[in-house]
Amino acid sequence: MNEPAENIAAWISRNARVQPTRDAIIFLERGETETERLTYEELEARAASYAAGLEREGLRGRAVVIAMPPGGAFVSLFLGCLRAGVVAVPVPFPDSARNLQRIESIVADALPAATVSVRNEIPKLRAIATAHPVIDHEELLGVGGSTPDIAAQQPALIQYTSGSTQAPKGIVITHANLMANQRMIHRGFDLPADVIGATWLPHFHDMGLIGTILQPLFLGGTAVLMPPRAFVQKPIRWLRAIERYRAHTAGAPSFGYELCTRMIAADDAAKLDLSHWRRAFCGAEPVRANVLALFAQRFVPAGFSEKAFLPCYGLAETTLITAASHPGSGLKLRDIALNGKGSRQFVSCGRPVEGSTLRLRDEDGRETNFGEICVGGPHVSPGLWLGKEGGVTPFANAFIENGESFLRTGDVGTCVDGELFVVDRIKDILVLYGAKHHAADIEICALDHDPDIRAAAAFAVDDGERERLVVLCELDRRKIGKGDYSAHGGRIAKHISEVTGVLPTVHIVATGDLPRTSSGKIQRFAAKTKFLSGAWGISNVARGAAVPQASDE
């Protein structure tokens, strides 16, 4: 392909000129009924119209919060921002108290020049965004004008992190970052130019926006979208969309695959046709081999191929993708020793995608084969958004090696035969009785040992004498009110003790009680904070049998 300016909006405009009548966006309002279909020509016209309105409001070069529901209007408005040189700040749609609270915190940090939403949500947004105008998106629609020249290093959007280990922060993604990462995804996944993708991932989140909306549009393909809620309520909707539109590419964090296996009966699974699904990417932390194996077992009768699994690794600070397994090779597993306590099986996230450079460093900054993952390349963000100055501050933990800047990710990994295996977050490494333990390793002990446990959060608490291990386990809601909770806790505590040498306090909570990020990851820090505050509710219903009390905190 001939490459135009370093602006994905300009690239998509080119696709609109080449194939104006091809479907760009298909939206399924409730995950089943098609309620919207935009061709490239229509998408281009709407993006140009929004861009004209944004310019008319004097918003070029300034941050603008986009609080839109998923669908064609969001995509058009986002592209309109990029065309007009506006710095887009995608946020959740304000249809819940939780989402509104998140928007309020983002507005306080980003200090945007405006917020754009739909008419019905304007009053509640004006109540939290008192220092700038809140605009009905329809008021922006105008006559398309010329597209201004935009520097490749100019900020294109601000990705607010999920906040799994700390408060959300605004990651600045430049136009050059976006284009570089789009090329990396294309080459790393080996996607066809007419790719069709089907997604339920949040449209304001990096995996959903950059990986499942922009990538098909970048390639001239089609993005089939549905709201996350439609998938969570009825996961088969996603698989039926893959079948109906013959999607080549679709993916999710591990919990998405687990939800499909748990909530779709074998008889219903066998009636599907998933034979066109060639790239089933999985980017959760960690990628769980047993979850994907059970998914394959359930859906192979529907034509799904285990070779379609494509584990990958990335983060908001690297726009999206950094490493990916070889397309069509499926899962590659390795037993990796941890802390001299035996080994555990990990899934390979493959090799760095073309243009991405990885380094592993120990606590003293020396290169090692097991340590913190550090990333360099044109997809790495220049830094954090400074709301007051409307600029960028470089990452404090970046370093230079041989003239190339590297970002310290805070993730721990190891390389085996050139392939990356992600172990955990550094901030979730627990030091107990002088030994280091990975929170994810402890959580998987609970998940693998008790089939009624749906999710877990492990963390350490200081009781004034030493750090003690606490594990919160979500029990299948169908089991709540039935049987002895302490039996579950006792079994899990005994197993964790046998594996790690540390006896934990185990608390049983209901499914859905553990705090999660917008992408579905468990927020360990938030879970710990809530636990220490005593404001948990069901969390104190039961404790693990014969487990020492660590809750004088």
Asked, as a colleague might, if the bond just before 286 is cis with ω within 30 of 0, I would say yes
What pLDDT was estimated at residue 546?
29
Calpha distance 72→94 (Å, rounded): 17
**8-324 has which fold?**
Rossmann fold (3.40.50)
Q: What is the pLDDT of residue 144?
A: 66
Evaluate whether 321 touches 211 at the Cβ level (below 8 Å): yes
Q: Please, which residues have CB within 8 angstroms of residue 47's CB and are 6 or more apart in sequence? A: 9, 12, 13, 76, 77, 79, 80, 83
Looking at residue 489, what is its pLDDT? 87
Say what the pLDDT of residue 163 is: 54
Q: What is the mean pLDDT of residues 24-49?
A: 97
Token pair 């049983």 in the structure block, residue: 508
Per-residue pLDDT, averaged over 484-504, amounts to 85
One-letter identity of residue 66: I
Instruction: Examine the pLDDT at 545 and tell me if it is beyond 60.
Output: no
Region 457-476: mean pLDDT is: 84
The answer to whether residues 242 and 274 touch, using CB atoms and an 8 Å cutoff, is yes
- pLDDT of 1 above 70: no
Residue 550: band (very low, low, confident or very high) from pLDDT cuts 50, 70, 90: very low
- The pLDDT of residue 146 is 65
pLDDT at 537: 52
* Residue 531: band (very low, low, confident or very high) from pLDDT cuts 50, 70, 90: confident
Query: Taking 50 as the threshold, does the pLDDT of residue 2 lie above it?
Result: no
**Looking at the predicted structure, is the pLDDT value of residue 470 above 90?**
yes
SS3 content of the chain, % helix, strand, coil (to 5): 35, 30, 35
pLDDT at 167: 65
pLDDT, mean of residues 93-115: 93
pLDDT band at 24 (very low <50, low <70, confident <90, very high): very high
**In the predicted structure, residue 309 carries a pLDDT above the cut 70:** yes
Domain ranges of the chain: 8-324, 433-540
From the centroid of its chain, how far is CA 405?
24
pLDDT at res. 250 = 98
Average pLDDT over the chain, rounded to an integer:
89
Confidence of residue 551 (pLDDT cuts 50, 70, 90): very low
pLDDT band at 539 (very low <50, low <70, confident <90, very high): very low
- The pair of three-digit structure tokens given for residue 123, joined into one six-digit string: 């009053």
3-state secondary structure of 193: coil
The reported pLDDT for the residue numbered 513 is 86
pLDDT band at 529 (very low <50, low <70, confident <90, very high): confident
Q: Which of 217-231, 260-274, 439-453 bottoms out in mean pLDDT, i.e. has the lowest? A: 439-453
Residue 244 confidence (pLDDT): 98
Which secondary-structure segment (H or E) carries 455? strand 453-462
pLDDT at residue 3 is higher than 90: no
Q: Give a three-class secondary structure readout of 223-248.
A: EEECCHHHHHHCCHHHHHHHHHCCCC
- Amino acid 468: pLDDT: 86
Does 288 score more than 90 pLDDT? no
* pLDDT over 80 (residue 481): no
Could you tell me the CA-to-CA distances from 491 to 170, 452, 503, 546 in Å, in that order? 42, 12, 11, 10
Per-residue tokens: 238: 């996603």
Task: Decide yes or no: CATH 3.30.930.10 for domain 433-540.
Answer: no
Query: 294-327: b or e for each residue (b if 16 or more CB lie within 10 Å)?
Result: bbbebbeebebbeebbbbbbbbbbbbbbbbbbeb
Residue 531 near residue 472 (C-beta atoms within 8 A): yes
Tens digits of per-residue pLDDT, 160-217?
986 554 567 899 999 999 999 999 999 999 999 999 999 999 999 999 999 999 999 9
Confidence of residue 6 (pLDDT cuts 50, 70, 90): low
Residue 4 in this model has a pLDDT that exceeds 50: no
